[in-house]
């Protein structure tokens, strides 16, 4: 049997997925998490997952699931997110951190876990408002994947993307709305976004190299959110 108020959150250990986990815990009676190891350079993000789960611990937080896609992703070729390469834009207008098919694989695996666990809702942190340009983060892609999962699994699953139309400043604002300063501080310090896996440099917005695209997005969002809070208007 599938439970309409039970959810599975794609949880990487990053800012967006941590915010989505808090969002789901505030809405659903039972929430489980799923993470993926795929040979990412910033695999240190996976070490952030359990501390965040413990910080958000609630009676409705269920088991965590880890799926290893390292061999699968590696067999499809390297990118700057899975190999020691400089991060640059490609001729197609995409950053070479784009891992083709990654989010599609993630959602397929999440659908399989949701099917087995009786979880109707799959919550993911994809966003096309303030992002790196990845086509598998677009709203159309996520809607198409929901349809494909429903047809392929013969189960009425719902893919939810609470950050889809929020930029990073709005994501920080949502974090504050969900849990105030305490949640903002926890996600600021515990979550990881840096593509290079750097957690040695401290910034106002958290830990990271400060120069990769992920760090720049996070830093800009933090600055805009802080400025909006200081604006008396």
For position 232, what pLDDT does the model report? 57
Residue scoring higher pLDDT (189 or 134): 189
* Phi and psi torsions of 95, nearest 5°: -65, 150
Q: What share of the chain is helix, strand, coil (3-state, %, to 5)?
A: 45, 15, 40
> pLDDT per residue over 29-66, tens digit each?
999 999 999 999 899 999 999 999 999 999 999 999 99
Residue 231 has pLDDT above 70, yes or no: no
For position 179, what pLDDT does the model report? 98
- Give me the residue spans of the domains in the chain: 3-167
For position 58, what pLDDT does the model report? 95
Q: Are 203 and 210 in contact (CB under 8 A)?
A: yes
**What's the length of the chain?**
233
- CA gap 217, 227 in Å, rounded: 15
Q: Which fold has domain 3-167?
A: Rossmann fold (3.40.50)
Q: Worst-scoring range by mean pLDDT, 202-206, 212-216, 221-225?
A: 212-216
Q: Are 79 and 42 in contact (CB under 8 A)?
A: no
pTM of the model: 0.93
Of 130, 129, 169, 164, whose CA–CA distance to 145 is shortest?
164
For position 83, what pLDDT does the model report? 77
Mean pLDDT for all residues in the chain: 93
């Amino acid at each position: 049997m599938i439970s309409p108020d039970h959810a599975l959150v794609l949880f990487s250990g990053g800012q967006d997925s941590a915010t989505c986990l808090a969002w789901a815990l505030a809405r659903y009676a039972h929430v489980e998490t799923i993470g993926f190891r795929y040979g990412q350079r910033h695999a240190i993000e996976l070490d952030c997952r359990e501390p965040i789960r413990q910080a958000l611990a609630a009676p409705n937080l269920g088991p965590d699931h880890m799926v290893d896609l390292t061999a699968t992703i590696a067999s499809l070729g390297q990118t700057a997110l899975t190999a020691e390469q400089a991060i640059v834009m490609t001729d197609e207008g995409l950053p070479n951190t784009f891992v083709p098919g990654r989010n599609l694989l993630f959602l397929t695996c999440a659908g399989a876990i949701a099917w087995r666990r009786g979880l109707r809702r799959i919550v993911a942190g994809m966003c096309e408002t303030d992002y790196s340009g990845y086509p598998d983060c677009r709203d159309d892609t996520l809607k198409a994947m929901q349809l494909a999962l429903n047809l392929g699994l013969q189960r009425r699953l719902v893919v939810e993307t609470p950050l889809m139309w929020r930029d990073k400043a709005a994501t920080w604002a949502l974090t504050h709305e969900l849990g105030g300063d305490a949640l903002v501080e926890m996600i600021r310090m515990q979550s990881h976004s840096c593509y290079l896996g750097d957690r040695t440099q401290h910034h106002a917005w958290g830990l990271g190299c400060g120069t990769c695209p992920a760090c720049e997005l996070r830093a800009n969002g933090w600055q805009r959110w802080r400025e909006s809070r200081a604006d008396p208007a």
